[in-house]
């Protein structure tokens, strides 16, 4: 791993230099000082007797007089509490039992002493606490914030995970917290530092996103223990992190790796010391300056010497004389007075004896610390690496959580898609209808979600007087009185449920079971509320809100009930993407006697087939090919028919070879054991790019030892190869709208449906879609082990040892297979787990040598709908972990086995193409898979659709292929400001034409809507982009004078005239605007 001119290679144990006895004692003392009982996923403890001996000897060494040649050190005590928004308790339980008392206690103590400081991270808790306070208390807190004594760091709704979360979800949860801070505190509360001390590894996309949000530095903690060891030795724990290959130094950030852990050094944790089993059994001694009697001695100077000795040793791992000492841990400061009172005396004693100790100390915020480091004007090394997978000892790669609780990962991503659709619909409806007539209506709490099969008309969408539609006005006729406040409140349920689910112990699947159920319930409730909002908004845009004749629902069961009851159904199909989209809509249905037309009565391509979906409640599926405009909808009509339209090409069983083919792709299945279909090959329609391609479902058996697989850890048994599950049976269907093969495996709950769709565009048409159902995973409970289920693809591509996975859905990261393992890996099972990486949206392999092909190298990509762990364990192979059910805990704090009995249907798309075209394919399909078409349903009135707006799009035209609108959402209910984020979704160098700077004009982006008040903001909207002036750090590999790093563009909108707002986007660049959208 490169750090400027340095490189890191983990040393085998026999290569390490011997330590002197004094060094060893101090190292032992400091290693113990980094661990506190009760911290999330804490490092395993040593033998208690050995700890006592190490402490006694090490502390004796550490309190020797300071040498004359020692430099003065500056100790920055950073008070914090790491408050997980769910883990062992739910977010509500944590707040009521712990966090509310922490905030009460901390604020009181800060007001008592102006020297004290505290950093607050999770806004999900702070916002709740804030609304419980009297106005007088709020004013006191505003004073603390204005004076810098209470500092918000990170400032998101939660501390999100960096491995399994999508970048849009990260932005959304940060925005949720930052919007609250800006509204309540103004510029004084703007977070300047990113603080990610507990996520399990760190993504190199984070520095770029955080830099764009206005952060100036980044604190991380959990990196490979061997790398951290090397960093300490080489004083490389601080560096400039230039994460994005495309954006260069524009996306770089100064990074600080915590030398030990985020806990208070163990000998100085007065609040929780009693539980630490230290010598004497009753925790660290308090700092005593005025003994209460002759029986107690003053110890302040001795304790100060111990503290300085600890800090000096840590400071030796950094380049400057400044050392950050964390003062806090999980849910600390419930007794803030105890902590602050002792540390007050510690700091006062150090400063009173600073000449003797050659040290000063102070309470600091993170801004204080990084300002001091920046002022040293030193030169720093640069790195572009990410820090996956994380490992904390030689047997424990944290690559299991990439796949833990897949149903929660799937639900999180599906609700993100729902949130995007309803956010866009809300912004567009607001633009058409404007503010509430008096803008004073109180927010209405939405009701529970509609039961399946029933449509609820939300009271939040009540309309009264109808205005006429003017010529050229793209907005439909609708109500003058429109309660946008109530709409926003309904939408807020899902925004906040989605935000809290990005927490590093939520979507990761590393929480306790009742907490997992709580996250799922929040998402499901938010989904229901958002659907009610969307239904009302579609009615408004459709022009149906004025008379109530159309009662819209988003429930597929409601649609099926109407059709089965002989009622024609109007189906507006919403496209949440920014390009015109021809795709196939799949709807479960209970009858085959239907016909499908567009809104003008023209028949559409459709067919009804027996359902291939696992566990489906309805016997048939309706497939309809539709074309939908960008960010808009078009309407189809599904009506009863006297004829049976079940496809005649349906076969009960697949016999012999089966081939699925359309204009762009061909997939072949051979006859396997017992005649069941098995995947055999894939090619483009012309056969130019082809490969043998097999797919297997297998499971790993966890290692039966002290360290086994669990919620966090993946540790397969090195002596047991992955066990295949054979295909038992199958069936196929070859039609004009859909072609599909179903494989049922020889273990209940496992099936794969493979589909292709004729009649689509070259990119969508070349995708091979798969739906893999797994669960409940069958296990032998008496074995106390479990299973980890994977799907593996094997091809003829010459991929060598290389494969590529995405980081958070953004740039692709090269991975190099190393089955022998890294130095120190305990066995081949551990080494295998170390080859697993997070696959958030896609992975691929390619011909690394061109394979001697005149037509060029091939690339095989797998696009996923939610996050999996993935790897390439052999040339030409890729695998994804689909499910995990484990019967033992892995010892990382959660205290429960991952005995997950859920079912999940993982959706993926396979793409085989020329390497030169591959980025166009996987970039487009990642969005198509993530954001499917969204239908709404209403019984068709006898009068038909003539008076309704059956097609609508707010965009003047499709956006360029490399440009995405990643956000179009209302900022708040009480203003007409809309957040607009646009992004160039290609990375530098991956496509000859699309990996280029691209300019769009915001003034001509929308049709029938008036754009105004355009203001460029930082990523989350905290400040104007022109004010995002971050410190410059001197780096070893700085570009020569006059040159700049690739992709450096930011700042104000390029406004060329009063009617033009031209915006240029470099590869991977996101630009954020506050705009107003109104109806002309």
- Tokens representing 1013 are 């008040």
Q: Are 512 and 520 in contact (CB under 8 A)?
A: no
Neighbouring-strand partners of residue 791: 697, 880
- Tokens representing 74 are 């500056």
Provide the angle, in degrees to the nearest 10, between the axes of the packed helices 300-315 and 48-62.
Answer: 100
The three-state secondary structure class of 338 is helix
The three-state secondary structure class of 792 is strand
Q: How far apart are CA 819 and CA 834, in angstroms?
A: 8
Residue 529's φ and ψ, nearest 5 degrees, are: -65, -40
Q: What's the confidence (pLDDT) of residue 551?
A: 86
Neighbouring-strand partners of residue 606: 624
Q: Are 602 and 626 in contact (CB under 8 A)?
A: no
Consecutive 10-residue averages of pLDDT for the chain (1080 residues): 47 36 36 32 35 46 68 97 98 98 98 98 98 97 98 98 98 97 95 97 96 96 96 97 91 95 90 58 80 81 93 95 97 96 97 96 98 97 94 96 98 97 94 58 30 33 31 50 80 96 98 98 96 91 72 94 94 97 97 95 96 93 98 96 66 70 97 91 92 97 96 97 95 96 94 98 97 95 91 97 97 95 93 98 92 74 98 98 97 96 97 96 97 96 89 96 97 88 97 96 93 94 92 77 34 44 95 92
Catalytic center residues? 198
Element (H, E) at 774: strand 768-774
Give residues with Cβ within 8 angstroms of 664, minimum separation 6. Answer: 684, 685, 762, 765, 766
Q: Print the SS3 string covering 856-910.
A: CCEEEEEEECCCEEEECCCCCEEEEEEEEEECCCCCCCCCCCCCCCCCEEEEEEE
- Tokens representing 667 are 């997939």
Which one, of 234, 183, 308, lies nearest residue 11 by Cα? Answer: 234
The three-state secondary structure class of 966 is strand
**pTM for this model (two decimals):** 0.91
Indicate the DSSP class of residue 851.
G
Pairing of strands 1070-1078, 73-79: unpaired
The secondary structure of 204-262 as a DSSP string is TTHHHHHHHHT--EEEE----HHHHHHHHHHT-SEEEEE--TTTGGGGEEEEEE-SS-S
Q: Which residues of 676-713 are buried (b: 16+ CB within 10 A; e: fewer)?
A: bbbbbbbbbeeeebbbebebbbbbbbbbeeebbbbbbb
Q: How far apart are the first and last CA of the chain?
A: 56
The secondary structure of 107-131 as a DSSP string is HHHHHH-TT--EEE--HHHHHHHHT
- CA distances to 123, 410, 424, 868, 1018 from 86, in Å: 13, 19, 29, 22, 29
Q: How far apart are CA 906 and CA 1036, in angstroms?
A: 45
Residue 732's φ and ψ, nearest 5 degrees, are: -140, 165
Positive or negative: CA dihedral 239, 244, 250, 251:
negative
Q: Are 636 and 603 in contact (CB under 8 A)?
A: no
C-alpha dihedral (1025, 1027, 1028, 1032), degrees to nearest 10: 140
- CA distances to 451, 751, 906 from 771, in Å: 26, 8, 6
Q: How far apart are CA 1031 and CA 380, in angstroms?
A: 13
Q: What's the confidence (pLDDT) of residue 976?
A: 83
Q: How far apart are CA 381 and CA 378, in angstroms?
A: 10
- CA distances to 29, 293, 443 from 61, in Å: 10, 30, 64
Which one, of 416, 290, 421, 288, lies nearest residue 808 by Cα? Answer: 416
Give residues with Cβ within 8 angstroms of 20, minimum separation 6. Answer: none
Q: Are 261 and 34 in contact (CB under 8 A)?
A: yes
Q: Are 830 and 187 in contact (CB under 8 A)?
A: no
Element (H, E) at 786: strand 786-795
The secondary structure of 535-548 as a DSSP string is HHHHHHHHT-TTT-
User: Rg of the Cα trace of the chain?
Assistant: 30
Provide the angle, in degrees to the nearest 10, between the axes of the packed helices 406-433 and 484-500.
Answer: 160
Pairing of strands 382-383, 868-871: unpaired
Angle ∠(19,23,28) on CA atoms, nearest 5 = 100
Element (H, E) at 500: helix 484-500
Q: Are 647 and 655 in contact (CB under 8 A)?
A: no
Indicate the DSSP class of residue 643.
S
């Amino acid at each position: 791993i490169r750090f400027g001119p340095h490189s890191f290679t983990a040393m085998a144990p026999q290569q390490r230099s011997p330590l002197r006895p004094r060094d060893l004692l101090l190292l032992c003392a400091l290693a113990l000082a980094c661990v506190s009982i009760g911290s999330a996923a804490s490092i395993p403890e040593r033998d208690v007797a050995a700890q006592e001996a190490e402490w006694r000897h090490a502390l004796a060494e550490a309190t020797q007089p300071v040498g004359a040649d020692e430099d003065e050190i500056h100790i920055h005590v950073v008070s914090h509490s790491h408050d997980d928004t769910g883990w062992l308790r739910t977010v509500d339980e944590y707040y009521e039992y712990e966090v509310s008392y922490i905030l009460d206690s901390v604020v009181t103590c800060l007001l008592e002493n102006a020297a004290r400081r505290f950093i607050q991270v999770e806004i999900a808790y702070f916002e709740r606490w804030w609304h419980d306070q009297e106005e007088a208390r709020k004013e006191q807190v505003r004073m603390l914030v204005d004076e810098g004594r209470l500092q918000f760091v990170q400032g998101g709704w939660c501390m999100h995970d960096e491995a399994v979360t999508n970048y849009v979800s990260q932005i959304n949860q940060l925005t949720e917290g930052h919007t609250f801070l800006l509204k309540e505190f103004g510029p004084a509360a703007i977070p300047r530092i990113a603080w990610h001390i507990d996520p399990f590894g760190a993504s190199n996309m984070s520095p770029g996103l955080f830099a764009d949000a206005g952060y100036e530095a980044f604190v991380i903690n959990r990196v490979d223990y061997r790398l951290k060891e090397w960093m300490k030795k080489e004083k490389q724990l601080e560096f400039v992190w230039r994460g994005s290959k495309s954006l260069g130094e524009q996306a770089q950030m100064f990074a600080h790796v915590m030398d030990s852990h985020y806990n208070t050094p163990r000998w100085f944790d007065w609040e929780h010391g009693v539980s630490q089993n230290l010598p004497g059994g009753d925790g660290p001694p308090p700092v005593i300056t005025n003994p209460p009697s002759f029986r107690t001695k003053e110890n302040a100077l001795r304790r100060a010497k111990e503290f300085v000795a600890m800090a000096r040793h840590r400071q030796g791992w950094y380049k400057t004389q400044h050392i950050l000492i964390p003062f806090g841990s999980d849910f600390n400061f419930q007794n803030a007075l105890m902590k602050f009172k002792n540390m007050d005396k510690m700091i006062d004693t150090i400063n009173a004896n600073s000449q003797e100790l050659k040290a000063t100390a102070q309470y600091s915020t993170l801004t204080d610390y990084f300002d001091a480091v920046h002022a040293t004007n030193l030169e720093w090394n640069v790195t572009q690496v990410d820090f996956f997978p994380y490992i904390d000892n030689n047997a424990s790669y944290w690559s299991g959580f990439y796949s833990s609780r897949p149903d929660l990962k799937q639900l999180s991503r599906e609700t993100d898609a729902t949130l995007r659709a309803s956010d866009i619909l809300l912004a567009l409806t607001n633009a058409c209808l404007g503010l509430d007539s008096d803008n004073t209506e109180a927010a209405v709490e939405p009701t529970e979600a509609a039961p399946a099969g029933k449509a609820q008309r939300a009271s939040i969408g009540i309309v009264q007087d109808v205005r006429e539609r003017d010529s050229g006005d793209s907005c439909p006729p609708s109500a003058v009185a429109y309660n946008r406040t109530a709409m926003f409140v309904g939408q807020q349920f899902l925004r906040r449920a989605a935000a809290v689910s990005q927490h590093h112990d939520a979507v990761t699947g590393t929480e306790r079971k009742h907490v997992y159920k709580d996250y799922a319930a929040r998402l499901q409730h938010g989904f229901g509320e958002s659907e009610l909002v969307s239904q009302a908004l579609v009615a408004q845009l459709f022009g149906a809100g004025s008379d109530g004749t159309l009662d819209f629902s988003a429930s597929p069961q409601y649609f099926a009930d109407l059709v089965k009851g002989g009622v024609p159904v109007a189906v507006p199909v919403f496209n949440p993407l920014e390009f015109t989209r021809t795709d196939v809509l799949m709807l479960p249905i209970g009858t085959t006697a239907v016909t499908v037309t567009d809104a003008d009565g023209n028949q559409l391509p459709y067919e009804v087939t027996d359902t291939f979906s696992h566990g489906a409640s309805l016997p048939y599926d309706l497939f309809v090919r539709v074309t939908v405009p960008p960010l808009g909808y078009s309407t189809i009509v599904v009506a009863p028919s006297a004829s049976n339209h079940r496809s005649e090409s349906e076969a009960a069983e697949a016999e012999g070879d089966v081939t699925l083919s359309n204009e762009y792709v061909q997939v072949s299945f051979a006859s396997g054991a017992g005649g069941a279909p098995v995947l055999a090959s894939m090619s483009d329609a012309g056969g130019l790019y082809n490969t043998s391609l097999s797919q297997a479902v297998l499971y790993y058996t966890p290692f039966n030892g002290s360290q086994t697989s669990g919620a966090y850890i993946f540790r397969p048994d090195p002596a047991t190869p992955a066990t295949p599950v054979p295909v038992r049976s199958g069936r196929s269907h070859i039609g004009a709208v859909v072609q599909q093969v179903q494989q049922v495996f020889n273990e209940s709950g496992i099936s794969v449906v493979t589909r292709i769709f004729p009649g689509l565009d070259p990119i969508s048409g070349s995708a091979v879609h798969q739906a893999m159902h797994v669960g409940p995973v069958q296990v032998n409970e008496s074995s106390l082990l479990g299973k980890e289920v994977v799907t593996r693809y094997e091809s003829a591509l010459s991929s060598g040892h290389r494969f590529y996975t995405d980081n958070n859905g953004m740039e692709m990261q090269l991975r190099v297979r190393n089955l022998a393992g890294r130095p120190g890996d305990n066995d081949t099972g551990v080494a295998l787990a170390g080859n697993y990486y997070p696959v958030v949206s896609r992975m691929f392999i390619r011909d690394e040598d061109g394979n001697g092909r005149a037509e060029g190298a091939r690339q095989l990509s797998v696009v996923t709908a939610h996050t999996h762990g993935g790897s390439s364990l052999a040339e030409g192979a890729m695998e994804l972990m689909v499910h995990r059910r484990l019967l033992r805990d892995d010892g990382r704090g959660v205290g429960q086995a991952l005995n997950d009995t859920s079912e999940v249907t993982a959706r993926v798309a396979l793409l085989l193409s020329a390497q030169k075209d591959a980025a166009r394919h996987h970039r487009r399909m990642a969005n198509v898979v993530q954001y499917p078409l969204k239908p709404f349903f209403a019984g068709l009135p006898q009068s038909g659709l003539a008076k309704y707006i059956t097609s609508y799009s707010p965009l003047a035209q499709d956006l360029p292929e490399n440009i995405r609108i990643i956000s179009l959402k209302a900022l708040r209910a009480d203003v007409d400001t809309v957040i607009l984020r646009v992004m160039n979704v290609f990375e530098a160098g991956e496509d000859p034409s699309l990996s280029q700077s691209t300019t769009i004009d915001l003034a001509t982006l929308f049709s029938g809507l008036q754009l105004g008040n355009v203001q460029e903001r930082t990523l989350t909207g905290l400040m104007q982009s022109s004010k995002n002036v971050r410190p410059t750090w001197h780096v070893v590999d700085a570009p020569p004078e006059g040159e700049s790093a690739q992709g450096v563009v930011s700042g104000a909108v390029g406004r060329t005239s009063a009617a033009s707002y031209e915006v240029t986007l470099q590869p991977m660049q996101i630009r954020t605007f506050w705009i107003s959208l109104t109806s002309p």
